Structure 1
Amino acid sequence: MSLKVIAAKIFARKIVRKTQEWAQHPVATQEAVFKKLIKEAKNTQFGKDHHFEQIQSYADFVQNVPIRDYEGLKLYIEKVVNGEENVLWKGKPLYFAKTSGTTSGAKYIPLTKESMPTHIHASRNAILHYIHETSNADFVDGKMIFLQGSPILTEKNGIKLGRLSGIAAHYVPGYLQKNRMPSWETNCIEDWETKVNAIVEETIKEDMRVISGIPSWVQMYFEKLQQKAQKPVGELFQNFNLFIYGGVNFEPYRAKFENLIGRKVDSIELFPASEGFFAYQDSQKEKGMLLLLNSGIFYEFIKSDEFFTENPKRYTIGEVELGVNYVLIISTNAGLWGYNIGDTVQFTSLKPYRVIVSGRIKHYISAFGEHVIGKEVESALQEAIQGTNIRINEFTVAPQITPKEGLPYHEWFIEFDSDTSGEPDNLEAFAEAIDQAMRKQNIYYDDLIVGNVLRKVVITKVVKNGFQDYMKSIGKLGGQNKIPRLSNDRKIADVLPKV
């Protein structure tokens, strides 16, 4: 056992103990975060506009600070972008994380000296919890790869600007620098396909032990590795035993990954965003990710089915229930206040508080009042492929409201893994299995089927690499970009290349 492995295990034990201290007192932890945020920001423009000096309780906060999305905070953010100080948070941000919005164009999310360390510590602590629980730390002696955006930063009025993953690349601790791949030069390549090809060349002969990234893009890397080496990834990287991911549910990809790797590997799920690092998987044995209650973020929750009503009730951590779909609202030490990030979550545990990401509040199908969410389609697909050889590369779902004949339906666009005979023998039977799983999960959908308002699921096959080609066509290939699981329109559905 190397000194690095021994040190990792000692450090892991320390971090787990510190985590347990705040996790055992969740309400008090959040109250302390709330009070500190209000105190630190009371002299900012936002704090003055919203009477922070008079806020003595959460009820005062609710009365003074409405729920907003990026558009709602845009006037304040524009002031920060233009170089003004003490607007949303004291002083100026260290960085802007630039993201692409659908309605707002480019979004500039502030990262401050108080918020930036929480992103780095959360990623580290997720790995340390894994080490502590499994006693597996040998991977620290091998190579690790993080598929991410370019670390090249620009400046806007003296504030550095880049993708969150590229900004985070500047904070990799020294003890990991020698292990970390790809090289800085390769990481700076902007074109995603060129970058992945270069990563394959750099890593194919290395002792890769940890691989991290969004599943769809890691899958692309694995496919290119397998094509070049003519062997499974697990045979090529014999010590590879840990996959770290975030951004999407891994389950729809799991069967394809195990085929590409040739065996099962452990995985750690993360819940990061430019607006904050919210949760990570702290246990291989428990469902869900530990919600980070001590990281400078105060959480509020609104029930999804009440979100679009007038003045929906806002819940704090001590009021949430298991299994309810909540819109996640945050106030942070980066200066986001009552901010709707667009994600929905469900609690899987209240001792400690663990969540799963159930979808996006804007990504749903409710063309007929069914309000189908991302978690439901992912679970239905997973149930339908269970025990079969069917493997899915990618999928999305959209309503067909005006079919040429017959009743409307939900259309599933699926790219099957045709390279490994991963297609269903009977497409109609597979569609029936998905439909039955959907009806069990969503009573509104079931009522529409029973009432002959909708007919059953229709599957349309997408050509090989069709989703990649689509993402490339809109300039969103690779990085942190993801295919929406659901759309309430057919903007994506109508342009996907079909078989």
Structure 2
Amino acid sequence: MTLIIKMAVKWNFRCACWGFISSLLASVLLTYCFSPQFHLAFRYYMPSLAEGAVAVLLGISSLIAFHISTLRCSESHTLTTLLLSYRWHQGERLATPSILAKINHMWKHPREAQEDLIRELTSRHAKTEYGRKNRLGEIQSVEDLRKKHPLTTYDHYRDYIQRLADGEEGVFLDEEPLRFGVTSGTTGAGKKIPLVSFWLDGDALCKQIRRLAVYQGAHRPSPVQKRCFFYIHPKISLTKTGRVISPYMFIKQEETMRLSELSSPPPAFTITNEPSAAYVHMLFAIADANLALLSTMFTPQMYRALKCLETNWQAMLDDLSTGQINAKIPLDPDLRRSIQRYLRLDKARVSQLRREFEKGFHGILKRIWPHLVAIEGIDIMGFKKKLEEKFSYGVPCFSRGYGNTEVGHLAINMWLHEKELRYAPCPHMAVLEFIPEQNSSDEDPKTLLIDEVEVGGRYELVLTMRSGLYRYRNGDVIQIVGFHENCPVMRMLYRSGEYLNLVYEKVNTQVVDAAIKNTIQGWPGIQLVDWTCAESPVYDPESSELYYIVFLEVDPDKRELNEVTEEQRSKFDEHLQQEHVYYSGLRGSNTISPAQLKFVRTSTFLELRDFRVAMTTTSVMQYKTPRKLRTQEHVNWMMERVIEIK
């Protein structure tokens, strides 16, 4: 196996030499081009002006090289990845004023942006079978859309999408899908969503805005500093026509521009096992002293990756010393050899890391990556707080935005340092309508448009999207918390499909979460890991008794739980009654019995994730714990892991 041995010469010095040599050659060529001999040759022999063109290119090359020589640079770059990363990020930097002007105009005139989008969509789809049947050609405004197209769910499109996946043309999109995204199936079976170029173009703009928001919250890193992205390759399938069916987050090894900025080598993005992926991504991340950013989809993945580092740091340092990945890490032999070719021996870096790891892992990130700008990931279950308390002291942790497979990136967090998460929608991604929460169960509820909502209002989202879905109810309930320019700002509350509803109470999971956290606050030394719940008829359909079952995993373990009294556990039901008036009334009349709080053993929710990933279309990268268990199989599975306490 060939190892890349670290040279004493760094990229800054190499680029300075490159710039000096390029500028010297350029000056020689230009001197020749302006010499009498050149003009004489040009007059009599009419040679090409290649020498002049080469001189100009060498001049540009020297400017780029001299600029890179002044920048902080990740030493694991090859010349190719160095230039690709530089080109990408410098291009984005130059485009920043244009990007910000575009999104700010949309935020100042959101209704205008929505009108532009609906006209674009209906003109694209009017001649398809779906467009003719639903008379999309007659819809020229958002008001027309609201009046002339019905509210829909996925079932409305299922047959159309299947026909599209089978290769039929002109069904309901004006272009062939590049691939099909599959949803996580949090509130049911996963759904196939066609992803076309028009969808990807809009999503790409949102990603640029999201990155600019991160740079607003922290300083912009160098264009040649690498970023670490924790990625687990998902299981994929193919349509009859060979189109890929995969989760929204899907990286191909051919994406050279994207992979050029990442610390892990391309083969690492084919690992399908989370522990192996976390080990390999972290191994290459710690090798780079100039790492700029740690990024993942959700903060629990980041927390588990850093716990992997804490557990395996000695093995990782051995790997960096020998150029061999630990044999205990399960990897395909060919993949292992492919990844190992990218390992760089660096005794000085290994010594530096060993000194820091031996001091402990509190605040470890800033000690091993002094130039780390931020951690980026959507926060779930308070893992941002866990990261900050142990690993990331001094490094900000940002939750970047809100979106889903159907729409892509819908809204961006522009207030990264604020504790309360809120998001500004991107009006070019979807036409937004809002069903008032109290009307969401109506047969044909009225909707409000983007300029008709009020601060404090709670609404179910309705989206008309670039993926070809019109007036689509995705089940998310949000609250308007203010305005950015003239655009409403929202925060996510819950999924309407995760209501608990034994009679008519409709207790949403936000209420359950608040009751759980208020209850555990009174238990010293015990922290919540995760939770889910179920309605008693799902568990025991033969019983007439109605109650909620709440499954909790907490840290620490059973020994401390035995010190939690029955009276303390009963506080959960009291808090739930305080949070929800209808539930309180049904409890007062004994229509509903007290909620049952059950503790499950350590790692149950990791096992639940693996169980659901194996049985459904979801992937590890997009998985979110279901707050409501819908099948008797899942409830029984949880019951088998319940801890018996005194």
* Residue type of the alignment partner of 2:399: I
Q: Kindly report which structure 2 residues correspond to 1:223-262, keeping only aligned pairs within 5 A, or say none.
A: 223-229=307-313, 231-232=360-361, 234-236=363-365, 237-239=368-370, 240-246=372-378, 250-261=380-391
- CA shift, 1:347, in A, is 1.6
- Residues 197 and 430 (structure 1), Cα distance of their counterparts in 2 relative to 1, 3 Å cut: farther
Conserved 8 A contact 1:347-1:356? yes
Residue correspondence of structure 1 range 321-336 to structure 2 within 5 A? 321-336=454-469
- Corresponding residue for 1:465? 603
1:400 to 536, 542, 548: 536
Alignment partner of 1:495 out of 603, 614, 637: 637
Name which of 606, 618, 627 aligns with 1:485. 627
Stretch of structure 1 that moved more, 484-493 or 209-218: 484-493
- Where 2:191 maps in the other structure, the secondary structure is strand
Q: Tell me, in whole angstroms, the C-alpha distance in 1 between the residues paired with 2:556 and 2:161.
A: 47
Task: Evaluate the alpha carbon distance shift between residue 42 and residue 165 of structure 1 in structure 2; reply closer, same or farther with a 3 A threshold.
Answer: closer
AA partner of residue 342 (structure 1)? G
Question: What is the one-letter code of the residue matched to 2:433?
Answer: E
Q: Distance in 2 between matches of 1:135 and 1:471?
A: 33
Of 398-407 and 471-480, more deviation after overlay is shown by: 398-407
Which residue identity does 2:604 align to in structure 1? Answer: G
Is residue 2:345 matched to residue 1:345?
A: no
Is the alpha carbon distance of 1:455 and 1:491 closer, same or farther for their aligned partners in structure 2, counting shifts above 3 Å? same
Using the alignment, how far apart are the partners of 2:508 and 2:493 within structure 1?
7
What SS does the corresponding residue of 2:304 show, helix, strand or coil? Answer: helix
1:419–1:217: structure 2 CA closer, same or farther, 3 Å change rule? farther
* DSSP 3-state at the match of 1:39: helix
**Cα distance in 2 for residues equivalent to 1:255 and 1:374:** 21
- Hey, what's the Cα distance between the residues in 2 that align with 1:143 and 1:434? 46
SS of 1:335's equivalent in the other structure is coil
What is the aligned counterpart of 2:220 among 123, 137, 140?
137
TM-score, normalised to structure 2's length?
A: 0.68
How far apart are 1:349 and its partner, in Å?
1.7
Match of 1:273?
404
SS in 1 for 2:448: coil
Cα distance, 1:6 vs structure 2: 8.8
Alpha-carbon separation, structure 1, partners of 2:474 and 2:122: 20
Provide the aligned C-alpha RMSD in A: 3.6
Alignment of 1:55-454 (within 5 A): 55-99=139-183, 101=185, 107-132=191-216, 134-138=217-221, 142-150=225-233, 155-158=238-241, 160-167=243-250, 174=257, 177-207=259-289, 208=291, 209-229=293-313, 231-232=360-361, 234-236=363-365, 237-239=368-370, 240-246=372-378, 250-261=380-391, 263=393, 265-276=396-407, 277-285=409-417, 287-351=420-484, 352-384=487-519, 389-400=525-536, 408-418=546-556, 426=564, 428=566, 431=569, 434-435=572-573, 437-454=575-592
Q: Is the 8 A contact 1:394 1:467 kept in 2?
A: yes
Corresponding residue number in structure 1 for 2:137: 53
SS at match of 1:444: helix
Is the alpha carbon distance of 1:414 and 1:182 closer, same or farther for their aligned partners in structure 2, counting shifts above 3 Å?
farther
SS of alignment partner, residue 313 of structure 1: coil
Shift of 1:150: 2.2
Structure 2 distance, partners of 1:423, 1:235, is: 30
Larger Cα-atom Rg: 2
Letter in 2 for 1:373: N
Residues 5-34 of structure 1, C-alpha deviations (whole Å, 9 max, x = no match): 998777555533432221111222212212
The more displaced of 366-375 and 426-435 is 426-435
How many residue pairs get aligned? The number is 495
Q: Which amino acid aligns with 1:89?
A: L
Structure with a larger share of its residues in helix: 2
Shift of 1:216: 3.0
Residue number in structure 1 paired with 2:100: 16
**Which SS does the other structure have where 2:434 is aligned?**
strand
- Deviation per CA, 1:238-268, whole angstroms, max 9, x where unpaired? 444523223xx53533343334425363312
Shift in Å at residue 172 of structure 1? 6.3
Q: Distance in 1 between matches of 2:588 and 2:388?
A: 38
Structure 1 position 405, deviation (Å): 11
**Cα deviation, residue 77, structure 1:** 0.7
Whole-angstrom CA distance in 1 between matches of 2:263 and 2:234? 13
CA contact (8 A) 2:184 2:247 kept: no
Higher mean C-alpha deviation, range 292-301 or range 54-63: 54-63
How far did 1:190 drift?
2.2
- Over 3 Å counting, the alpha-carbon distance change for 1:410 and 1:298 in structure 2 is same
Aligned partners of 1:488 and 1:477: how far apart in 2? 19
User: Which range is displaced more, 309-318 or 377-386?
Assistant: 377-386
Counterpart amino acid of 2:625? I
The structure with the largest strand share of the pair is 1
Separation in 2, partners of 1:168, 1:392: 33
Distance 2:468 2:558 in 1: 49
Aligned-partner SS, 1:493:
helix
In 2 relative to 1, CA 445–491 (structure 1 residues): closer, same or farther, beyond 3 Å? Answer: farther
Mapped to 1, the partners of 2:498 and 2:132 lie a distance apart of 35
Is 2:126 the counterpart of 1:42?
A: yes
Match of 2:61 in 1: none
Determine the C-alpha separation between the residues in 2 that align with 1:419 and 1:256. 18
Alpha-carbon offset, residue 109 of structure 1 = 0.7
* d(CA) in 1 for partners of 2:91, 2:558: 42
The separation in 1 between residues aligned to 2:559 and 2:548, in whole angstroms, is 25
Secondary structure of 2:513 counterpart: helix
Unaligned runs of 5+ in 1: none
Q: How far apart are 1:477 and its partner, in Å?
A: 6.4
Q: CA deviation at 1:183?
A: 2.8
More divergent stretch after superposition (356-365 vs 432-441): 432-441
Q: CA deviation at 1:125?
A: 1.4
In structure 2, relative to structure 1, the CA distance for the partners of 1:142 and 1:437 (3 Å cut) is farther
Alpha-carbon separation, structure 1, partners of 2:150 and 2:422: 28
Q: Distance in 2 between matches of 1:75 and 1:41?
A: 17
- Shift in Å, 1:480: 0.9
User: For the residues of structure 2 that align with 1:437 and 1:139, how far apart are their CA atoms?
Assistant: 49
